[in-house]
Amino acid sequence: MTAVLLHAWRHPRAAGAEGRCIGRTDLAVDPRRARRLAHQIRAHARRHGLPHIVVTSPLQRCRAVGQRLARWGWQHRIDPALAELDFGSWDGCAWAAVPRAAFDAWCADFADHPPGGGEPVAALLRRVQGFDPADARLVVTHGGWLSAALWLRDGAGAPPDSAHWPPAPAHGRRIALVLPTGAR
């Protein structure tokens, strides 16, 4: 098994996301923001001699960046493994509307309790661990996915807990991750 350096960006800020629990809710992103991030990725790839292949989440706030790069001759792949955490019935709701007891139950059993009946953090961690970029080195994904990747990178194998969960990088920001490739 070998390892690769993966350059992972958080998608641009989506329209209508402020104050809301946004997981699988498929919000649009301003085309100018998608273009701006695509320019950043293209410049980064050029500067570092990386292949012109980008893998994105299927959600349009990531996919729009990949589609912009594809217009410039890049190969764009979509991988559901890069999708955001599924918040179930909370998804799309204002955070203030999530019952405090339900939120506290999730925080108390952060790894295994499915928020809103959606996807437990442990399942997100498995998706991140199972992601194989193949020959791609550039991805556009979500804050939750990136936080999970940071936990796997820096958490020293400890079970995830809400008090120590890494904050998501800012929209449009890049983190570097070393991922194993090949047989898992």
| CATH label of the domain that carries residue 76 | 3.40.50.1240
pLDDT at 183: 40
Using DSSP's 3-state secondary structure scheme, residue 113 falls into coil
User: How many angstroms from the chain centroid is the CA of residue 135?
Assistant: 19
State the pTM of this model: 0.94
The alpha helices in 13-142, defined as continuous H runs, are 31-48, 60-71, 100-108, 121-130
151-166 pLDDT tens trace: 998 877 788 999 999 9
Whole-angstrom distance, CA of residue 105 vs CA of residue 85: 17
Sheet arrangement for strand 75-78: 75-78, 53-56, 138-141, 2-10, 174-181
Domain span at 106: 2-181
Looking at this protein, which amino acid is placed at residue 161? D
> How many domains does the structure of the chain reveal?
1
83-122 pLDDT tens trace: 999 999 999 999 999 999 999 999 999 999 999 999 999 9
